[in-house]
Structure 1
């Protein structure tokens, strides 16, 4: 086992580099120099490499033979639409299963899902990704918990691997929508709690399509 201090350092480096990628301090498509990054963070190259491996799994950076690491390019309009289509297929199915398999006695897991449905607002006096990091994490947590409630491990894994929140919020930051998104989340939870698969599926579809509309202005302006 690695010492706890080493794990904490790697986590810190990971969070720092992720914020730089999300804020475009490391520009989309830019090459990442491990040694230069280690010097700027005042750490050895080892935690940087470990952090980059995690960011590659997140889809935020890419590693190519003989070329090293580069920041992933931003989603194109076509890729964005494909991501929405995938989420509509996977997450509506997860919601149906969650509602179908819900039992009133299983309130602990439902309480956890309901707690995750409420999204925190932007952090005062913070800028860029730092202002919505908690919002992004909570949003992802809600969708991951909903997928988990489906009871289908493969479906849950497929939804988690999409990492949609990191890719979407890297495009632009819509923190003013946190109340709207939270209300949509609670409608999903209510449908699951009622054991109504049709209503749960419709609530997720409405939420994802509304989220699509909230992100479209980026492409109109880009």
Structure 2
């Protein structure tokens, strides 16, 4: 979807700044805006045919999300990628996400259970086809929705905000390096086991399975990235 398509949507649906933010996020997550590249706001403003004020607002939000960095005298740059950053993102998810899941199991009712199993069904019915950007995005969206549904009843807005930022940073590695990887059966089995343990109120098992899932996924991604990154980027 182009920025033109987004900007032509009815004004009530979202502000122009939110639409610009969505386009920039998509370009960053998929590597169209390369990690470490400088962002010239005047050039972006001309390219997108938007005002400087909503563009700055969109960029500021992405700075808060960790996808763009800003430094005095240097302006804005797309956040670089590295194994160290991936490891930090994974370590934080391993600490926060299972904790949030435990809280969701405590707080969630039947509606939450139904939402979890519904998100699992959607995810397991969504294929990820190598070389098909549409299917890749659809699967990643379903995957993120599943993980969020698991923890949403932690009822801790700050934790959920931090989690959203971590997922966005993790997604960039996934979008760039998993383009040629099809979903494996073990991923479906892991998601199913986590969901079933969660709705069965088996908090220890669910948290342990989620931890192992995050660690295994990161380890697989780490091997792909290590082979592609320059030596000094690790």
Question: How has the CA–CA distance of structure 1 residues 187 and 72 changed in structure 2, closer, same or farther, with 3 Å as cutoff?
Answer: same
Q: CA RMSD in A?
A: 2.8
Cα gap change, 1:68/1:142 in structure 2, threshold over 3 Å: closer, same or farther?
A: same
Equivalent residue number for residue 53 of structure 1: 60
Structure 1 unaligned spans of 5+: none
Number of the residue aligned with 2:92: 86
- State the alpha-carbon separation in 2 of the partners of residues 40 and 178 from structure 1: 39
In the TM superposition, what are the counterparts of 1:81-120 in structure 2 within 5 Å?
Answer: 81-102=87-108, 106-117=109-120, 118-119=122-123, 120=126
* Partner SS state of residue 7, structure 1: coil
TM norm structure 1: 0.80
Cα deviation for residue 101 of structure 1 reads: 4.2
How many residues are paired up?
A: 214
Q: Give how far 1:155 is off.
A: 3.7
* Structure 2 CA distance for aligned equivalents of residues 28 and 173 of structure 1: 16
Report Cα offsets for 1:47-83 as digits up to 9, x if no partner: 3222212222221111222322111001x22222222
Aligned with 1:132 (options 126, 136, 145):
136
From the superposition, tell whether residues 216 and 189 of structure 1 become closer, same or farther in structure 2 (CA, over 3 Å). same
- Between 186-195 and 4-13, report the one with greater CA deviation: 4-13
Partner of 1:150: 154
Deviation at 1:204, TM superposition (A): 0.5
In structure 2, stretches of 5+ residues that fail to align are 1-9, 229-234
Shift of residue 28, structure 1, vs aligned partner: 1.2
TM-score (norm 2): 0.77
Q: Distance in 1 between matches of 2:208 and 2:93?
A: 13
Off by >6 Å, runs of 4+ in structure 1? none
1:205, CA displacement in angstroms? 1.7
Of 198, 207, 210, the match for 2:213: 207
Superposed CA offset, 1:164-214 (max 9, x none): 443432541255127643432221111111111121112112211221232
Rate the CA distance shift 1:213–1:125 in 2: closer, same or farther, 3 A: closer
